[in-house]
Chains A and B, each alone.
Chain A
Amino acid sequence: MGDNPLFATYLIGLREGLEATLVVSILIAFLVKSDRRNRLPWVALGVTVAVALSIGFGALLTYTRTTLLADYRDRELFEAITSVAAVCFVTWMIFWMRRAARSIAGELREGLDRAIAVGPLAVALFALLAVVREGLETALLFFAAVQGAESDTGPLLAILGGILTSIVIGVLLYASAVRINLTKFFTWTGVLLVLVAAGILKYGVHDFQEADVLPGLNNLAYDITGTLDPSSWYAALLAGMFNITPAPTVLEVVAWLAYAVPVLVLFLIPGRRRPSPPRPTTDSPAPAASQAA
């Protein structure tokens, strides 16, 4: 398992890439489904700015003696803050989904426009946050691979391969999401987003702990590294999509539950004239994951 060094490297790229592409592809699918294609350039803008920022910063840190963000704690803090901001946006989007699902259920297609007033800047900022969160760490890794590429180009190609695969998964998710019928789409992507957002929040909490802002980094809720090997491909997928990790801290688990449970309940409370949709189990994201794959 995971004993091929290139495969292990590839998985890092995949995991880091998925953290961003999953949210972006759902965002794109959502905009397309709700007839807001005119917002798509803004998504591209947000992603571009995030990629440029990450690569620019990565290069600065790698090739110059800058002290800005050079301390790993500052970087953790940066990731933590952007993650929490991303959670706010994703939560907002989850409730767009809910409203959208409502207005469609009520056969009010034209009401959709009014239900989802989403400004172009919000879209751009959202896409930016989703990507910049993991972008810096990925860029640093990428430059480490670039520096090592003189002797061996393997790791560089493996990381790029991983990032490309994550983009392909994003495209596939988009393609399958766009094809399902509207009501189902809003319900399922909403549920998927709740799990993703809970994961991002948990990740943010972990980073706050690593940055020494929150206590309890060594206080693990459980440790199943024996059963869920962090270097396996499925662990990389779980971590990249839902931030499900084999040895989370107590605070991470608390944050995850404190977010996922109430938001799922709120999201799934049936509208006044709708039968409630089937409730997916909150504790195992397996059904949602199989939806995504």
Chain B
Amino acid sequence: MRTPRVLALAAAGVLAGGALAACSDDAGSGGDAAAGGPIPVNATDSACEVATTDVDAGTVTFKVTNKGVKVTEFYVYAQGDRVMGEVENIAPGLSRELHVELPAGTYETACKPGMVGKGIRGALKVKGSAAPLTADAALAAATESYQRYVKSQTAALLEKTQEFVTAVKAGDAAKAKELFPVARTYWERIEPVAEIFGDLDPKIDGREEVIEEGMEFTGFHRIEKDLWQTGDISKSGPMADRLMTDINEIVAKANAEKLSPLQLANGAKELLDEVATGKITGEEDRYSHTDLWDFNANVEGSKAAIASLRPVLEERAPDLVKQLDAEFANVDTALSKHRAGDGWKLHNQLTQDELKELSDSINALAEPISKVAAVVAK
């Protein structure tokens, strides 16, 4: 009764679509997108032929035709497999278009016949366009991109800190211990931003020594001490509430702060210094020994800042980018030996030799990172 009506509707829609198609045969051609209309891509089950692999920056249009027998997808990836654009569900025998905004740089195209795996990759070079981005615009784009990163991290920081605080107040020590390194991960990734706000940082992340500077010992590490050392969190409720208040305040400030490209570059370096002084030594999380979580988060944060600056660096110092990539990979390799389940080994489970290896890899990375600021300031 009713369902036929739905059927009729679908049929009507199809008819309308068909009629539309019939009377607009050649509308839409004569593309004024990138130079000379869409770039044809021939996708088969075993190949992905992109007609040209050198294009000008701006809006690029690909017309992907599936000549295979499997359903395929087409992607444009920036480095590190960041998706710049994609079109899914390209049925065999059909053509579909992808419009994608590409700044100058190197990318990869990929067809995924059968919708599985990494796809058939190909290089794509995008050159500075006829109307090149001004240097300022590139830097502005970098800070915007990093600002988005800060936003995503602060959102998670609020959520996880809230969970941590709730667990502490509920007296659930086991859960609080589990959440402690997780919540801190988001904090550690964006620590340089936090450090802009003077006394908030020590309130949240100060160690016991802040007492010597006439401050009260509060924040993450105070609760860490209650959890791991004294083993009594029955009185930690007010401390947990204060932590939440401070985190709320710093997140609001961090998201409102307009960062400069130079701050990104310096931040990437500061994060590595953090690793060297606080994490390698084990002084930061002295009660819980969860330093490797912080270590990894610092490195990730540093990587994110560099990733945002990447288009600028590619343009001005391509060799430096290569070096950074290699050293980041090296740090990841050294660190990944110490994974344990979803997390990391404790700091006190590592031998002196292992710590030295980590320290060496960080120092090797710090060297090219310290050059980034100069390149940005050019």
Name A residues whose Cβ lies closer than 8 Å to a Cβ of B.
Answer: 2-6, 8-9, 11-12, 16, 24-25, 28, 40, 43-44, 47-48, 51-52, 55, 58-59, 62-65, 70-73, 137, 139-149, 152, 154-155, 158-160, 163-164, 167, 170-171, 174, 210, 212, 214-215, 217-218, 225, 229-231, 246-247
Contact B92 A71 (CB under 8 A): no
Name B residues whose Cβ lies closer than 8 Å to a Cβ of A.
Answer: 2-3, 5-7, 9-10, 13-14, 16-18, 20-21, 24, 27-28, 31-32, 68-71, 81, 83, 85-96, 98-101, 114-117, 148, 152
Q: A40-B2, A210-B86 are in contact. Are A72 and B71 (CB under 8 A)?
A: no
Contact A225 B2 (CB under 8 A): no
Taking the closest CB of chain B, its distance from the CB of A13, in whole angstroms, is 9
Q: Which residues does chain A contribute within 8 Å of B21, judged by CB atoms?
A: 59, 63, 143, 146-147, 149
Q: Which of B24, B27, B28, B115 is within 8 Å of A231, CB to CB? A: B115
Q: A12-B71, A155-B93 are in contact. Are A28 and B3 (CB under 8 A)?
A: yes
Q: Which of B85, B92, B152 is within 8 Å of A155, CB to CB? A: B92
Q: A63-B27, A72-B100 are in contact. Are A145 and B91 (CB under 8 A)?
A: yes
13 residue pairs of the A-B complex, CB under 8 angstroms, read A3-B69, A28-B3, A43-B2, A51-B10, A55-B13, A55-B16, A64-B27, A72-B85, A142-B17, A146-B21, A148-B94, A155-B93, A167-B3
Contact B17 A58 (CB under 8 A): yes
Q: Which residues does chain B contribute within 8 Å of A231, judged by CB atoms?
A: 70-71, 114-116
CA–CA, A225 to B91, complex, Å?
Answer: 19
Q: Which residues does chain B contribute within 8 Å of A59, judged by CB atoms?
A: 17, 20-21
Contact B71 A51 (CB under 8 A): no
Q: Which of A12, A40, A62, A160 is within 8 Å of B89, CB to CB? A: A12
Contact B17 A171 (CB under 8 A): no
CA–CA, A12 to B115, complex, Å?
Answer: 12
Q: Which of A139, A167, A214 is within 8 Å of B6, CB to CB? A: A167
Among all A-B residue pairs, the 9 with the closest Cβ atoms: A5-B92, A9-B91, A5-B69, A146-B21, A225-B116, A230-B115, A51-B13, A63-B24, A144-B94
Contact B116 A230 (CB under 8 A): yes
Q: Which of A3, A52, A63, A163 is within 8 Å of B20, CB to CB? A: A63
Q: Which of A8, A47, A171, A229 is within 8 Å of B92, CB to CB? A: A8
Q: A8-B91, A72-B87 are in contact. Are A144 and B96 (CB under 8 A)?
A: yes
Taking the closest CB of chain A, its distance from the CB of B310, in whole angstroms, is 15
CA–CA, A52 to B3, complex, Å?
Answer: 17
Q: Which residues does chain A contribute within 8 Å of B99, judged by CB atoms?
A: 70-72
Contact A141 B91 (CB under 8 A): yes
